[in-house]
């Protein structure tokens, strides 16, 4: 019996025997969608689009998830082997992808490491690891030399919010340790002559309605956690309440969009602290920016 300790949940279930842990998916990798995606940060999507591969299931399962249909177990996608994932990566590269962008990969990181060990030398584009930040340093260490760009979230500063929305009261300490390990591996960010990221770290934060003070604490923390010139911060305003309302979320404070004041107060603080990075046009806070996971 081999129990799953792949992420900080440490569920100790045997996924190879069909037991399900917090991420609600078995041992085999499952992909819900892969495509060229134009709505990542400018150095990630660039001119031709990012080669996104969306994995089904999630080890964080936030109450306000914008990809709820795949992360909470509605659409579990298709089973994909290590060789099958290699083929998908090569197909995306042939389609012109600027990079291979592994979205919500944490609960399959062992198989992803095996895949990248087979395919990394054949790829001419960078590999991006796009995660919730709720990662174990031990699992991340298996990806050293295989991932070029880390794109983690830093979702919560408050333990209470992390517990309320993601059942992860230790989120902050886990995410900070993960971000430090990602920085250790990827080093300072490097862009090519077209402004496309080749290696480095972009830390994302989605600002939630009613919680701008938590976002401001995160921005302050990031300004002292790593050398500011070495990484980017991406402040996202794209939260849409559609999914929370559809799911009858009891969190009434999330049943609205972010205001301009809430967003700009966080962006202004980041700028005043000397952080570099990206902000969003608030017109992005619509459901059409969420990929259609039913598309074939």
Q: For strand 127-131 and strand 149-152, is the pairing parallel, antiparallel, or unpaired?
A: parallel
Residues 2-61 that bind ligand SF4 (CB under 6 A): 4-7, 9-11, 13, 15, 21-23, 59
How many residues belong to the site for ligand SF4 (CB under 6 A)?
Answer: 14
Percentage helix, strand, coil for the chain under 3-state DSSP, each rounded to 5: 40, 20, 45
Minimum CB distance to ligand SF4 smaller for 21 or for 126? 21
Among 30, 33, 72, 107, binds ligand SF4 (CB under 6 A): 107
Q: Which of these, 255, 16, 44, 259, lies nearest to 130 by C-alpha position?
A: 44
Q: Which of these, 136, 97, 118, 95, lies nearest to 8 by C-alpha position?
A: 136
Task: Output the DSSP codes for 47-107.
Answer: TT-EEEEEES--SS--TT-TTHHHHSSS---EEE-HHHHHHHHHHHHHTT-SSEEEES-GG
The three-class DSSP label of residue 279 is strand
Residue 126 to residues 95, 100, 178, 237, 238: CA-CA distances in angstroms?
15, 6, 20, 26, 26
Q: Residue 19 CB, nearest distance to ligand SF4 (Å)?
A: 8
The three-class DSSP label of residue 71 is helix
Q: Residue 4 CB, nearest distance to ligand SF4 (Å)?
A: 3
Q: Is 205 in the site for ligand SF4 (CB under 6 A)?
A: no
Minimum CB distance to ligand SF4 smaller for 23 or for 258? 23
Q: Is 244 in the site for ligand SF4 (CB under 6 A)?
A: no
Q: Residue 8 CB, nearest distance to ligand SF4 (Å)?
A: 7
Q: Residue 152 CB, nearest distance to ligand SF4 (Å)?
A: 16
Q: Residue 134 CB, nearest distance to ligand SF4 (Å)?
A: 9
Q: Is 222 in the site for ligand SF4 (CB under 6 A)?
A: no
Q: How far apart are CA 197 and CA 213, in angstroms?
A: 30
Torsion angle (degrees, nearest 10) of CA 221, 223, 228, 232: 70
Residues 114-143 that bind ligand SF4 (CB under 6 A): none
Minimum CB distance to ligand SF4 smaller for 11 or for 285? 11
Binding-site string for ligand SF4 from residue 142 to residue 181, where x marks contact by CB under 6 A and - marks none = ----------------------------------------
Q: Residue 208 CB, nearest distance to ligand SF4 (Å)?
A: 23
Q: How far apart are CA 95 and CA 88, in angstroms?
A: 10
Residues in contact with ligand SF4 by CB under 6 A are 4-7, 9-11, 13, 15, 21-23, 59, 107
């Amino acid at each position: 019996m081999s129990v799953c300790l792949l992420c900080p949940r440490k569920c100790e279930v045997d996924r190879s025997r069909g037991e399900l842990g917090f991420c609600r998916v078995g041992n085999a990798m499952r992909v819900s969608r892969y495509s060229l995606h134009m709505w990542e940060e400018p150095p990630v999507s660039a001119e031709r689009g990012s080669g996104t591969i969306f994995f089904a299931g999630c080890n964080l399962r936030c109450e306000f998830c914008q990809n709820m249909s795949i992360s909470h177990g509605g659409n579990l996608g298709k089973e994909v082997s290590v060789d099958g994932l290699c083929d998908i990566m090569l197909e995306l590269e042939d389609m012109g992808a600027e990079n291979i962008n592994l979205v919500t990969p944490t609960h399959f990181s062992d198989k992803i490491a095996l895949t990248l060990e087979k395919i990394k030398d054949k790829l001419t584009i960078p590999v991006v690891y796009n995660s919730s930040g709720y990662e174990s340093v031990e699992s991340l260490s298996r990806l050293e030399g295989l991932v070029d760009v880390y794109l983690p979230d830093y979702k919560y500063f408050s333990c209470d919010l992390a517990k309320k929305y993601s059942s992860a009261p230790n989120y902050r300490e886990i995410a900070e340790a993960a971000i430090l390990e990602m920085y250790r591996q990827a080093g300072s960010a490097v862009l090519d002559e077209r402004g496309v990221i080749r290696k480095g770290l972009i830390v994302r934060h989605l600002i939630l309605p009613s919680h701008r003070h938590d976002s401001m604490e995160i921005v302050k923390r990031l300004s002292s956690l790593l050398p500011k010139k070495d990484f980017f911060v991406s402040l996202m305003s794209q939260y849409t309440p559609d999914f929370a309302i559809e799911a009858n979320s009891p969190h009434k404070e999330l049943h609205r969009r972010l205001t301009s004041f809430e967003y700009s107060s966080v962006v202004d603080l980041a700028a005043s602290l000397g952080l570099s990075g990206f902000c969003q046009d608030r017109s992005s806070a619509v459901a059409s920016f969420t990929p259609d996971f039913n598309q074939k």
